Amino acid sequence: MEAFGLLFHGFTVLLTWKTLALMMVGLVLGIFVGVLPGLGGPNGVAILLPLTFTMDPTSAIVMLSCIYWGALFGGAITSILFNIPGEAWSVATTFDGYPMAQQGRAAEALTAAFTSSFIGSLVAVVLITFLAPGIASFALRFGPPEFFAVYLLTFCSFVGLGREDKHKTIISMALGLLLAGVGMDTVSGTLRMTFGLSELLRGVNFLVAVIGLFGISEILLTMEERLALRGHAASISLRVVLQVWKDLPRYTMTLVRSSVIGCWLGITPGGAIAASFMGYNLAKRFSKDPDSFGKGRIEGVFAPETAAHASGTAALLPMLALGIPGSGTAAILLGGLMVWGLNPGPLLFVEHKDFVWGLIASMYLGNVVGLIIVLTTVPVFAAILRVPFAAIAPMIVVSCAIGAFAIQNAMFDIWLMLGFGVVGYVFKKIGIPLAPFTLALVLGSRAEDAFRLSMIGAEGDLRVFWSNWLVGSITTLAVILLFWPLIGAAIGRARGLLQRA
Amino acid sequence: MATPDNEIVVDDPDAPDSSSPPVVGTRAVNIVVYLLLLALAALLAYDNWRTGMGWAPEGPEAGYFPFYLSVMLAGASLYGLVYALVSGAASDETFVTRDQLRRVMQVFVPTLLFCLFTQWLGLYVASFLLIAGFMYFVGRIALWKSLLTAAVFSIAMFATFDIAFDVIMPKGPLEAAFGY
């Protein structure tokens, strides 16, 4: 198969001392970011992105994706040892992970979490390896109408399938798309929405917004809460690891089920959070002894962790193949790709083979190295939580400011970041979701270009979005997803009527 | 079972009291946010209408796409506003309590000052002041620890970004005195 050859080539790109060292640095930083309160995958990647500006794209993306893997691993540590989910998708891990730690089985729970994370990611990476090139070459046939239809599908599925109030999702998305349009219009060169401010000519940078929305606002939110914590220190011995691995085959079904759920939810923009809960609930439902869940059952750790990581990894598939990120962090990685002048999407597989296969190979290697690092260094990372938040908070603020400034060397961006921090704080507290905003901001100008190019090609006829079976079915699917809550309710009512009749 | 020597305990004596009185309710914040969003939508719609939101011979004008987005934003905000007004004060939740607001201000005000100082003194000096000040005054950590941590962190950042990675940060009189 062609994929094997290319993947092998990817490994040869990767196996230099410099890349391996960057990988380790990325993983350690990532775990650090995942463990610390007030930081997480998206913020971590956004803040550390400027570090990579002077690297070549392959080294940079390897380091960034390793930060992402590290953050995924790190979230499990605090969930199990402290009952504090470092990330929203680790919430389900606390249900059984923390009881296990209380029973003195912390090492077992951690090993289970790390191992299942590894398995989940691995399944998703294998999926990416074999599916992404196919999807990308299929998407090479896409013209502007098809691309716009795919963007529309992404946006509509957020509105239709999201659990937040619909009007809040629409507000978030419209704001993101509007901000993406500020500055010079790429098609006609006209200035718009700048209000005479020369700083706005460049537009609002995506990464500045992300650093403010996620980094600064998260610090404000964290300070609101009680920061006291109480948990267990743990170290993992080789004996425990081997013990857990020996029992692994017994949980094959749980692992397979969670991997499938994770991959599916990761590709569709729904994300790791839903996946982890769904994995947990299904494991519970299919178990012979559902009542023992929540009291320290190892399957209760395997199921959500596998699903969360499969989904977090699978989110990179649409990003690589179509240029559409499946999660907030993937959106930030996409922003990074654009900074290095790479245009994410199907052409990436043709024009930048080295880069794509280097990245895919780094997913394999990063997960193996990550697993070894977390298994051996858990005590060190658990101890980080002893560092008072009063020392960590200002350091995070400084890192955010450095990140925001470095992107365009503009002081204005530091102020913008602060503004976005306040907006993010208020939005999170009144339930306006930030993920649609992030996605809209990063996809906005490309969605608009695709729309206008289709319109120019079709001389303003909206029927171009139904002009052939491909674009027609994508557009129709988008409309169905947009109105899914209404359609779902109608189907439910119809079924009720039928049953009564 | 957990024994004291393998337990990690971090205290937070300054934590916000759960009985602290609310400063403002979620409903009021909702209404203010929706009003602001409506105003923003109106402003952007006007600006895009001025730019041109119709059809030129070669396709949609520059303001076409954003104009309709502003209309969408206005519609969704209006819905939220009406919803918040109709839902009544009975089901209102606390947006922030006085204690929470105090803690948030403890971070927000220093961050604001940090941004101001960055403009005058450069980022690294501002970073030293922010970290040392925050640790000492807000975290009540010993002065020497605060100063040492701040100095080590700021110098490490300078070495990483300005020297090792060539990412140039805003600098002030202190850096100038050292010839950077």
Give the burial class of B70: count Cβ atoms within 10 A of its Cβ; 0-12 exposed, 13-18 middle, 19 or more buried: buried
CA distance A401 to A314: 31
Last residue of a domain, one of B39, B63, B96: B96
Give the burial class of A172: count Cβ atoms within 10 A of its Cβ; 0-12 exposed, 13-18 middle, 19 or more buried: buried
Which residue shows structure tokens 């507290």?
A429
Last residue of a domain, one of B73, B96, B119: B96
CA distance A455 to B60: 7
Q: Domain check: are B45 and B79 in the same one?
A: yes
- B56 beta partners: B59
Structural domain harbouring A499: 469-501
Taking CA atoms, what residue in A is nearest to B98? A224
CA angle A255, A124, A46 (to 5 degrees): 120
Provide the total of helices (H) and of strands (E) in chain B, helices listed first. Answer: 6, 5
- Is residue A158 included in any domain, yes or no? no
Q: Domain check: are A450 and A480 in the same one?
A: no
- B59 beta partners: B56
For A105, A204, A421, the CA distances from A415, given in Å and listed in that order, are 47, 12, 10
DSSP A383-417: HHTTS-HHHHHHHHHHHHHHHHHHHHT-HHHHHHH
Question: Count of CB atoms within 10 A of residue A136's CB?
Answer: 20
- Is residue A409 included in any domain, yes or no? yes
Structural domain harbouring B81: 23-96
Q: What is the DSSP letter of B18?
A: T
Task: Categorize the per-residue pLDDT at B2 as very low, low, confident or very high, splitting at 50, 70 and 90.
Answer: very low
CA distance B153 to A393: 13
B23 φ/ψ angles, rounded to the nearest 5 degrees: -90, -45
CA distance B123 to B98: 32
Q: Domain check: are A487 and A381 in the same one?
A: no
Q: Domain check: are A485 and A406 in the same one?
A: no
Question: Hey, what are A206's tokens?
Answer: 């995506």
Residues in chain B: 180
Q: Are A166 and A353 in contact (CB under 8 A)?
A: no
- Is residue B141 included in any domain, yes or no? yes
Last residue of a domain, one of B96, B120, B137: B96
Q: Are B45 and B105 in contact (CB under 8 A)?
A: no
Contacts of A326 (CB under 8 A, 6+ apart): A266, A267, A268, A269, A271, A314, A315, A316, A317, A318, A319
pLDDT in tens, chain A (501 residues): 567 777 787 777 777 788 888 888 888 888 888 777 666 667 777 777 777 777 777 788 888 888 888 887 887 888 888 887 766 777 888 888 888 888 888 888 888 888 888 898 899 988 888 888 888 888 888 888 888 888 888 888 878 777 778 889 899 999 999 998 888 777 777 788 878 777 787 788 888 888 888 888 888 888 887 666 777 777 777 888 888 888 888 888 888 888 888 888 887 765 667 778 888 888 888 877 778 788 888 888 888 888 888 888 888 888 888 888 777 777 888 877 777 777 777 888 878 877 888 888 888 888 888 888 888 888 787 777 778 888 888 988 898 898 888 888 888 999 999 999 999 999 988 888 888 888 888 888 888 888 888 888 877 777 888 888 888 888 888 888 888 888 888 888 888 888 776
CA distance A43 to A33: 8
Nearest to B8 among A50, A382, A402 (CB): A382
Torsion of CA B164, B165, B166, B167, to 10 degrees: -130
- What's the pTM value of the predicted model, to 2 decimals? 0.85
Q: Domain check: are B146 and B92 in the same one?
A: no
Q: Domain check: are A47 and A28 in the same one?
A: yes
Contact A398 B72 (CB under 8 A): no
Question: Hey, what are B88's tokens?
Answer: 């009544």
DSSP B39-106: HHHHHHHHHHHHH--SEETTEE-TTHHHHHHHHHHHHHHHHHHHHHHHT-STT--EEEEHHHHHHHHH
Contact B141 A390 (CB under 8 A): yes
Q: Domain check: are B89 and B107 in the same one?
A: no
The number of domains in chain B is: 2
- Is residue B31 included in any domain, yes or no? yes
Q: Domain check: are A499 and A456 in the same one?
A: no
Cα A496 from chain centre: 38
Contact A223 B8 (CB under 8 A): no
pLDDT, residue A87, reads: 66
Q: Where are the alpha helices (DSSP H) in A182-271?
A: 206-210, 217-224, 238-247, 252-267
Contact B95 A406 (CB under 8 A): no
Give B-chain residues touching A211 at CB under 8 angstroms.
none
Q: Domain check: are A455 and A478 in the same one?
A: no
Q: Domain check: are B28 and B90 in the same one?
A: yes
Taking CA atoms, what residue in A is nearest to B26? A430
Q: Domain check: are B117 and B71 in the same one?
A: no
The reply to whether B147 touches chain A by the CB within 8 Å rule is no
Q: At what angle do helices A144-161 and A484-500 cross, to 10 degrees?
A: 60
- Is residue A226 included in any domain, yes or no? yes
Q: Domain check: are A461 and A474 in the same one?
A: no
Taking CA atoms, what residue in B is nearest to A235? B6
Q: Domain check: are B71 and B110 in the same one?
A: no
Q: Domain check: are B90 and B109 in the same one?
A: no
Q: Domain check: are B34 and B72 in the same one?
A: yes
Question: Count of CB atoms within 10 A of residue A440's CB?
Answer: 25
- Is residue B15 included in any domain, yes or no? no
For residue A232, the SS3 value is: strand
The pLDDT tens digits for A283-299 are 888 877 778 788 888 88
Q: Domain check: are B149 and B125 in the same one?
A: yes
* Mutation for B interface: A25, A54, A78, A188, most B CBs within 10 A: A188
- Is residue A54 included in any domain, yes or no? yes
Which residue shows structure tokens 């659990």?
A163
Q: Are B10 and A386 in contact (CB under 8 A)?
A: yes
What is the ipTM metric for this complex?
0.89
The reply to whether B116 touches chain A by the CB within 8 Å rule is no
Question: Count of CB atoms within 10 A of residue A191's CB?
Answer: 16
Nearest to A394 among B7, B70, B130 (CB): B130
The reply to whether B58 touches chain A by the CB within 8 Å rule is yes
Give the burial class of B165: count Cβ atoms within 10 A of its Cβ; 0-12 exposed, 13-18 middle, 19 or more buried: middle
Give B-chain residues touching A418 at CB under 8 angstroms.
111-112, 115
Q: Domain check: are B60 and B76 in the same one?
A: yes
* Mutation for A interface: B19, B44, B48, B92, most A CBs within 10 A: B44
Q: Domain check: are B57 and B117 in the same one?
A: no
CA angle A341, A342, A343 (to 5 degrees): 115
Q: Domain check: are A406 and A493 in the same one?
A: no
Number of A:B CB contacts under 8 A? 221
The pLDDT tens digits for A46-68 are 777 777 777 777 788 888 888 88
Give A-chain residues touching B118 at CB under 8 angstroms.
401, 411, 414
Q: Domain check: are A382 and A416 in the same one?
A: yes
The number of domains in chain A is: 2
- Beta strands A183-184 and A191-192 are antiparallel
Taking CA atoms, what residue in B is nearest to A219? B107
Q: Domain check: are B87 and B116 in the same one?
A: no
Contact B8 A193 (CB under 8 A): no
* Contacting B residues, span 62-101, partner chain A, CB-CB under 8 Å: 62-66, 69-70, 72-73, 75-77, 79-80, 83, 95-96, 100
